[in-house]
Amino acid sequence: MAKKEDPKDPESKSKEELDKKRALRRREFVKLVGGTGVAATAQVLAGHQLASAATTTVPEPEVVGSAKVIGPGPATMTLRVNGEAKKLTIEPRVTLLDALRNHLDLTGAKKVCDRGTCGACTIIVNGKPTYACGVLAIEVADRGGKPGADIRTIEGLAPEGQLHAVSASFVENDAQQCGFCTPGFVMSCKAYLDSHHNPTLEEMKQALGGNLCRCGTYVGVRNAVVQAAMSMKGGHA
Amino acid sequence: MADYHWPPTDKCSLIGRRISRLDGPWKSAGRIKYSYDVNRPNMLHGKMVFSPYAHAKVVSIDTSVAEKMPGVKAVEIMTEPGKEVFWVGHEVAAVAAETEEQARDAARRIQVRYEKLPHLVSDVAPSKAGEHTKQLAEQTDGNPDQALQQAEVISEGEYGASVITHCCLEAHGQVAEWDGDDLTLYASTQNVSGIPGEIAKANIVSSADKVRVLTPVMGGGFGSKFGADSWGLACARLAKKAGRPIKMMLERDQELMAAGERPSMYAKVKVGAKKDGTLVGWQSESWGTGGPDAQGGAPNLPYVVRIPDRRVKHTAVLTNIGPARAWRAPNHPQMCVITMSALDDLAAKLGMDPVDLLQKNIQMTGQLAKTYSAELEKASQLMDWKSKWHPRGDKTSGPIKKGLGVSMHTWGGAGHPSNCNCVIQPDGSVSVSLGSQDLGTGTRTVIGIITAETMGLPLEAVKVNIGDSKYPADGASGGSTTVGGVSSSTRRAATAALNQLLEKVAPSLDAKPDDLEAVDGEIRVKGNPSKAIFWKQACAKLGTTPITGTGQRQRGNDDLLSSGVGGAQMAEVSVDTETGIVHVDKLVAVQDCGLIIDLKTAESQVYGACIMGITYSLFEEKIMDEQTGRCLNADLEFYKLAGIGDFGDIVVHMMTGPGYDERGVIGLGEPPVISPGAAISNAVANAIGVRVPTLPLTPDKVFAALETKGAVA
């Protein structure tokens, strides 16, 4: 269908006028969203408080037909971590991060926000960088006779006493201070470089945008990822 | 004998070079255990109950239900009934259970009854705070009224910075483990040597020597981890009751609510100058909140540029926002943004380039005037200031406005008390031990470099032992005092050990100890390199007895360190006048810190401080809700930290060489974090033509400023 001429069509207005209007609209829009955003947050918080006050009993497990319901008590499961099958008995609500840290003593992945924001717990699951705090262990465990996900933690990058090329580039470029965010950065960087062989620095910034550092080591990290990208593909930029 | 004084930097093989941090490989391999990572055999997990009210009296605590919950082994009351809690997140009780999940469940079932009391969490104006204020200081120097009357140009404005938190990535907390009457604490602390005394004072152990604190590495402190804290005491008590080790770390929301706040500071300022830019008078009424008990103290305004005629008054607003704790360079970033913004506004009114205004008044900075002047010049060059700078308001078309801003800052430094033992073994191995800690600043590496340089050995030949309270006592790491303290004690201890070795070796080289030096892995006769003995052979002469050299940071003046640095920073920003978003395109930091031991970790300190500065300038704020008294953003989704792509280039230049090196070692942690706020705020004003009065420079505040007279959009 052909486009009709419309006197109200913004395209018919002068560019200057339009720019002015758009600017105001966008500004008003952001203001509006900012305002209601805060109000909404307050409501959510108040609701959360009520909810936690009301949670006085652990809900009974729901029985659906003849399906076997796991939990809420501990269940035995097998995780495939760094190429090894690890059997552990934990509650189904235990996150993959807590399973690794509290039950397998793999503490390279750090617990910082515990809400899928900061990236300090980044590990590699089936080749993809993954926030371990945002996955339940049971989700990636063996199921129905099939092996679970391939879970790689930073401890699996290199044998004890040796450094993976990415870790080495972080050391050389001083891309760490307190170091608490470093394993997460290293894993994000490794996962990205495994599947992107010619990244630009801008692409790497995007790839590492989900990892936060408090000491402010990002300048070192920028230099480290450039070096890591080169060393992982044999020295070709 | 070897001289303990610093060698000239051109004679150094390690000091002043770029050297990778010693614990870097442990950290980037993910294998080193932070406190949060320590898993002891049979260990329980602790969780705390926190007050949901900003101000309340605890009426009763019933733990009977919680005690019967699965896996629960011990409970501990942290705030006795009858006592008050002063912020949301104030610790009330704790529980230990077999798993983290069970401990969390049980904590929810501890029933606490509160009597709510009135609270205040807003710090915007003392006049609205009623009785919740305390006047901390009023000071008049010279005759400010007369000076301001005679001023040819007056600028008035309101400036400030909001409350922010430390947000350490490793939360506060510890693992406590008893062995009979002996307690081991794996604590995330800035004060390894100081914690045992605190535990003893709380009557948890019979004497401080029963406590061992272990902190090989720690995940950030920034001034918030000096004490054992109530949770440290509770964890030790729970572990005693349960007879098992316990890990109790704060969860992220607790970390942001209860583990420390940087006090806010705001000021109404009047500043006057002559037409040529000479500053003549200052008057400020400032206020801010440091929690319920006026922590934080009064500012010393104006900052850096000491205008002789001044009147200052400061009022503390007593609020229930949380506990104030030292935050990297306490009070300085706030004083800096107030002063440097006011001077920048004055420069705009005078029609002057603000760098010219600072240079014009450089003598008012006192002893460091020459340093500041040189730093401003260097920064201008690195920023290309002269060709980029324009008067207030970017007049180019389009929604993106660009601007430049400048700021200067200072810090003391000096060195905290420090003791070091240096041991040379007959097999040639060398170790140094101090009860210090490395917060990520590079302390461990600095100690290693100094020892290796003193012995003429490679860095790998030295073992550095820190992070254990059984080592010689060292001060808390705060106020940029660590590097001064440990450098002095380490250099003295290493020299003392070396001199004992030289005495042993001298006869075999047919020389006096005074004629010997340790260089390149050899002990040799000065000026006669052919008369030498390898280090290992020299040490073999010790027989079976190792040598111990001790060193102590000298009380009072210590000729290995000093105090007082200056720094200048310049920011270039782009402001999107359609979205209100500020982007830092470039930040230049020029910093003096005396003799630099490790240039690589020193530069990292400055880069890190700049990024932390960008974060508090643009994103960070503890947002409080007056109705509920709660923090609305106690998580990392809404408590914003900058990410790797959230800023442009950072250029760091360290002032070294003659005039700087001979001052000795001076701390660097605090100074470079001070100026970013002012430099960025000034750059935004330069871009959009008007001042955004307070940090953080969020889009809503930028919009509000854009609607005032004089804005470019």
Asked if A71 and A125 sit in the same domain, the reply is yes
pLDDT at A65: 64
Confidence of residue A9 (pLDDT cuts 50, 70, 90): very low
Between A49 and B520, name the one with better pLDDT. Answer: B520
> Quick one: closest CA in A to B24, which residue?
A171
pLDDT at A19: 52
Q: In what order do the strands lie in the sheet with B563-576?
A: B400-413, B563-576, B581-592, B649-655
DSSP code, position B404: E
Q: Which domain holds residue A54?
A: 10-156
Confidence of residue A232 (pLDDT cuts 50, 70, 90): confident
In this structure, of A228-237, B109-118, B161-170, the range with the lowest mean pLDDT score is A228-237
Confidence of residue B713 (pLDDT cuts 50, 70, 90): low
Phi, psi of B239 (to 5 degrees): -65, -35
pLDDT at B409: 98
DSSP E strand boundaries for B9-118: 44-50, 56-62, 72-77, 84-85, 91-97, 111-116
Asked if A18 and A93 sit in the same domain, the reply is yes
Tens digits of residue pLDDT in B664-711 = 999 999 999 999 999 999 999 999 999 999 999 999 999 999 999 899
Most A-contacting residue of B28, B114, B441 (CB-CB within 10 A), to test interface: B28
What average pLDDT does range A129-145 have in this prediction?
96
Asked if A114 and A217 sit in the same domain, the reply is no
Is residue B173 a contact partner of residue B340, using CB atoms and an 8 Å limit? no
CA–CA distance from B687 to each of A211, B346, B399, B577, B676 (Å)? 31, 16, 11, 10, 16
DSSP-derived pairing of the beta strands A122-125 and A75-81: unpaired
Among A191, A200, A192, A97, which residue's Cα sits nearest to residue A139? A97
Asked if A47 and A83 sit in the same domain, the reply is yes
Tens digits of residue pLDDT in B328-349 = 999 999 999 999 999 999 999 9
Q: Which of A125, A156, A187 is the last residue of a domain?
A: A156
Asked if A131 and A184 sit in the same domain, the reply is no
Tens digits of residue pLDDT in B622-653 = 999 999 999 999 999 999 999 999 999 999 99
Is residue A1 one of the residues assigned to a domain? Answer: no
Is residue A237 one of the residues assigned to a domain? Answer: no
Is residue A4 one of the residues assigned to a domain? Answer: no
What average pLDDT does range B150-171 have in this prediction?
98
Q: What is the Cα Rg of chain A in Å? A: 24
CB contact under 8 A, B578 and A98: no
**Residue B662 carries which side chain, given as an amino acid letter?**
E
Provide the token pair at A11.
């395209």
> Is A179's pLDDT higher than 90?
yes
In this structure, of A64-78, B112-126, B363-377, B698-712, the range with the lowest mean pLDDT score is A64-78
Residue at token pair 């006011």: B342
In terms of phi and psi (left: phi > 0; alpha: psi -120 to 50; beta: otherwise), the region of B67 is: alpha
Provide the domain count of chain A: 2
Q: What is the Cα Rg of chain B in Å? A: 28
**Residue B272 carries which side chain, given as an amino acid letter?**
G
pLDDT at B87: 97
What average pLDDT does range A186-201 have in this prediction?
94
Distance from CA of B149 to the nearest CA of A (A): 41
Confidence of residue A15 (pLDDT cuts 50, 70, 90): low
| CATH number of the structural domain spanning residue A169 | 1.10.150.120
Is B219 part of the contact surface with chain A (CB cutoff 8 Å)? yes
Asked if A131 and A222 sit in the same domain, the reply is no
Instruction: Give every CB contact of residue B647 below 8 A, 6+ residues apart in sequence.
Output: A218, B583, B584, B587, B611, B614
Asked if A40 and A133 sit in the same domain, the reply is yes
Spell out which residues of chain B touch residue A115, defining contact as CB-CB under 8 Å.
252, 635-637
Confidence of residue A42 (pLDDT cuts 50, 70, 90): very low
Is residue A225 one of the residues assigned to a domain? Answer: yes
Asked if A119 and A45 sit in the same domain, the reply is yes
Tens digits of residue pLDDT in A102-128 = 999 999 999 999 999 999 999 999 999
Is residue A107 one of the residues assigned to a domain? Answer: yes
Asked if A208 and A130 sit in the same domain, the reply is no
Tens digits of residue pLDDT in B190-206 = 999 999 999 999 999 99
CA distance B509 to B516: 9
CA distance B493 to B489: 6
Is residue A3 one of the residues assigned to a domain? Answer: no
Residue at token pair 């408080």: A49
What is the percent of chain A where pLDDT is above 90? 65
CA–CA distance from B273 to each of B62, B344, B356, B373 (Å)? 65, 12, 13, 20
> Is A22's pLDDT higher than 70?
no
Among B528, B454, B532, which residue's Cα sits nearest to residue B488? B454
SS (H, E, C) B494-556: HHHHHHHHHHHHHHHHCCCHHHEEEECCEEEECCEEEEEEEHHHHHHCCCCCCEEEEEECCCC
Distance from CA of B708 to the nearest CA of A (A): 15
Residues 171-210 of B with CB under 8 A from A: 171
| CATH number of the structural domain spanning residue A132 | 3.10.20.30
CA–CA distance from B524 to each of B4, B15, B322, B455, B532 (Å)? 18, 21, 60, 12, 4
Residue at token pair 């003995």: B533
DSSP E strand boundaries for A38-94: 75-81, 84-90
Is residue A90 a contact partner of residue A74, using CB atoms and an 8 Å limit? yes
Confidence of residue B260 (pLDDT cuts 50, 70, 90): very high
Tens digits of residue pLDDT in B38-80 = 999 999 999 999 999 999 999 999 999 999 999 999 999 999 9
CA distance B286 to B657: 40
Instruction: Give every CB contact of residue B209 below 8 A, 6+ residues apart in sequence.
Output: B196
What average pLDDT does range B284-289 have in this prediction?
96
Is residue A115 one of the residues assigned to a domain? Answer: yes
What average pLDDT does range B166-195 have in this prediction?
98
Phi, psi of B74 (to 5 degrees): -165, 150
Asked if A142 and A171 sit in the same domain, the reply is no
Asked if A118 and A193 sit in the same domain, the reply is no
Is residue A51 one of the residues assigned to a domain? Answer: yes
DSSP-derived pairing of the beta strands B153-161 and B265-273: antiparallel
What average pLDDT does range B13-28 have in this prediction?
97
Task: Assess: ipTM above 0.90.
Answer: yes
Is B153 part of the contact surface with chain A (CB cutoff 8 Å)? no
Q: Which of A126, A156, A186 is the last residue of a domain?
A: A156
> Is B216's pLDDT higher than 50?
yes
Report the DSSP beta bridge partners of residue B463.
B431
Q: What's this model's pTM, rounded to 2 decimal places?
A: 0.92
Is residue B695 a contact partner of residue B264, using CB atoms and an 8 Å limit? no
Taking the C-alpha atoms of B626, B632, B634 and B639 in order, what is their torsion angle to the nearest 10 degrees?
Answer: -120
pLDDT at B128: 85
Average pLDDT value over all residues in chain A: 81
In this structure, of A17-21, B384-388, B516-520, the range with the lowest mean pLDDT score is A17-21
Residues 97-126 of B with CB under 8 A from A: 99-101, 105, 108-109
CB contact under 8 A, B252 and A183: no
Average pLDDT value over all residues in chain B: 97
CA distance A79 to A138: 8
DSSP code, position A99: I
Q: Which of A128, A156, A184 is the last residue of a domain?
A: A156
Asked if A223 and A189 sit in the same domain, the reply is yes
CA distance A130 to A95: 12
In this structure, of A178-187, A193-202, B229-238, the range with the lowest mean pLDDT score is A193-202
